[in-house]
A and B are shown apart, each in its own frame.
Chain A
Amino acid sequence: SQTIHQWPATLVQPVGSPLSLECTVEGTSNPNLYWYRQAAGRGLQLLFYSVGIGQISSEVPQNLSASRPQDRQFILSSKKLLLSDSGFYLCAWSVTVNTGELFFGEGSRLTVL
């Protein structure tokens, strides 16, 4: 069966510090991978998605970046965090032929102070 795991679960970082959130998927090949941010009252906002290694599409301009160094690994990064980067970050995967069904990781709570 397929599993998705992201870490760390909780992160408290000062403004201006770097960020790295990691997500891995097991039990499937060539998944579509996604990074979402969930802010209170604003729903899920798609940040990045990837259809293959090294292929990253960005949905919104921001100081975050994403990379996919391996088929089942997706990383969300920032060189310098802003206060507005605080939120709940969710990694998700879907099958290669997108059915619309997403399978989410446990989430990572980022607080920028």
Chain B
Amino acid sequence: TQLLEQSPQFLSIQEGENLTVYCNSSSVFSSLQWYRQEPGEGPVLLVTVVTGGEVKKLKRLTFQFGDARKDSSLHITAAQPGDTGLYLCAGQMVNRDDKIIFGKGTRLHILP
């Protein structure tokens, strides 16, 4: 059973377009992280969200934590080829000893 579902699995869009990827669960998280991973490298932390409804912005990336702290979204405005990569969400589970679980990721490809 996959506790954190990410969608879509794959996304290929043209440079300049906007996109949103999702991270959903039936579990509640005390915190949720987004990472970006390049091929052959380790994931790099982009952001942590903690409060239900919280919105954080990182340049053209906007991250939102769901009100119930069960889901999150990542919106990219005016995507650029440098945004290409695997985007992973991870959640720190409440009532499970703060165990961290990962989604399978969204593989994003921005076409120049």
Contacts and interface: CB of A to CB of B under 8 A. Distances in A.
Interface in B62-101: 88, 90-92, 98, 100
B102 A44 contact: yes
B100 A46 contact: yes
Contact of B31 (A43, A100, A104, A106): A100
B36 to A, nearest CB: 11
Contacts, number: 54
Q: Interface size bucket, B side? A: 20 to 34
A74 to B, nearest CB: 14
Contact of A102 (B30, B41, B100, B105): B100
Interface in B33-54: 33, 35, 40-45, 48
A101 B41 contact: no
Q: Specify which of B32, B41, B43 lies most central, judged by the most chain A CB atoms within 10 Å of its CB.
A: B43
A101 B102 contact: no
Contacts of A41: 104
A106 B35 CA distance: 14
Q: Interface size bucket, A side? A: 10 to 19
B40 A104 contact: no
Contacts of A101: 31, 33, 45, 48
Contact of B43 (A98, A100, A104): A104
Interface of B: 2, 30-33, 35, 40-45, 48, 88, 90-92, 98, 100, 102-105
Interface of A: 41-44, 46, 90, 92, 98-107, 109
Rank and list the top 7 A-B pairs by shortest CB-CB distance, nearest first.
A104-B42, A100-B92, A100-B31, A43-B104, A44-B102, A107-B42, A43-B102
